[in-house]
Structure 1
């Protein structure tokens, strides 16, 4: 009973952590009107899946409880990797791996053909960092990576505590 509660708390934590990450991204995009680049959009996916894992754990603690929670580790590592990749693009260490982060290829011989080949919305270049806190030289992608590392640390700590609680019950 106590171990199931600990697992359910971890599920709630994952849902809240994922929702917070997506809420900040939504706030930056829709309230501050800062357009995300293609890498920013990709960086949101691990958080969406993390919410799903947490929700499954909350709804099915007896069936999925412990094992499904471990899927959050590769997701958080993927989030860290995406943040590192994005930071490297921002710091000019390497080019973006995504084609949408590069200048659009405009083709055509006439002005009408060139206008027709232009994208409907201009894309934000992935190498242009977004700084949310004035005076703090951490871009959103770097802060996202630090957040993913913190969530991973808290998750591992909570899992360790749940494992110790299970040992006490069975011994």
Structure 2
């Protein structure tokens, strides 16, 4: 497979992930949490990098595409850990500990909490959440970006 096809495939994978995310959001009525939104930014970057790399065939852009894919994979891994309770997520999107809070502080936290929590799994397939699937797919996209980097 040549450089431009690999770039198209890697960036197209990120585009497919974004289409899927928007499909879940708007057709499936599953609002994204904060970490879900964070996972989208590197995909958008990979799409833009892919378009530029496809047009210019500049080799270093493939490295940037791989970095973008690995970034969203890392966020997906972190989000998976938050969902599974392996570690706490950002205090703005998970429940956290309330043992040392006063009633007023607890009420303030409840009132400022987002509608969608990062530590709940809204959908899964074969035991993996959307964050987990994003991580796995993004690792594959990073490998394709690296193949493109070596190709040219």
Alignment TM-score > 0.5, same fold: yes
Counterpart position of 2:137: 147
CA deviation after TM superposition for structure 1 residue 100, in Å: 2.8
Partner of 1:59: 55
Deviation per residue, 1:4-56 (Å, 9 max, x gap): x9332233223311110101100111111111111000011110000010111
Asked whether the equivalents of residues 80 and 148 of structure 1 are also in contact (C-alpha less than 8 Å), the reply is yes
TM-superposition CA deviations, 1:117-158 (whole Å, max 9, x none):
945x9521111013243xx11011011101011112233234
Distance 1:59 1:74 in 2: 19
- Rounded to whole Å, the distance in 2 between the matches of 1:43 and 1:57 is 22
Structure 2 CA distance for aligned equivalents of residues 20 and 92 of structure 1:
28
**Does structure 1 residue 12 correspond to structure 2 residue 8?**
yes
Residue in 2 that maps onto 1:111? none
Contact 2:6/2:147 (8 A) holds in 1: no
Higher relative contact order (CA 8 A, sep 6+): 2
**Is there any run of 5+ residues in structure 1 with no aligned partner, and where?**
108-116, 164-171
Are 1:124 and 2:120 counterparts?
Answer: no
Partner of 1:49: 45
State the TM-score, normalized to the length of structure 1: 0.73
**How many residues are treated as equivalent by the alignment?**
142
TM-score for both structures, normalised by structure 2 = 0.81
CA RMSD of aligned residues (A): 2.4
Are 2:98 and 1:102 equivalent residues in the alignment?
Answer: no
Rg comparison, structure with higher value? 1
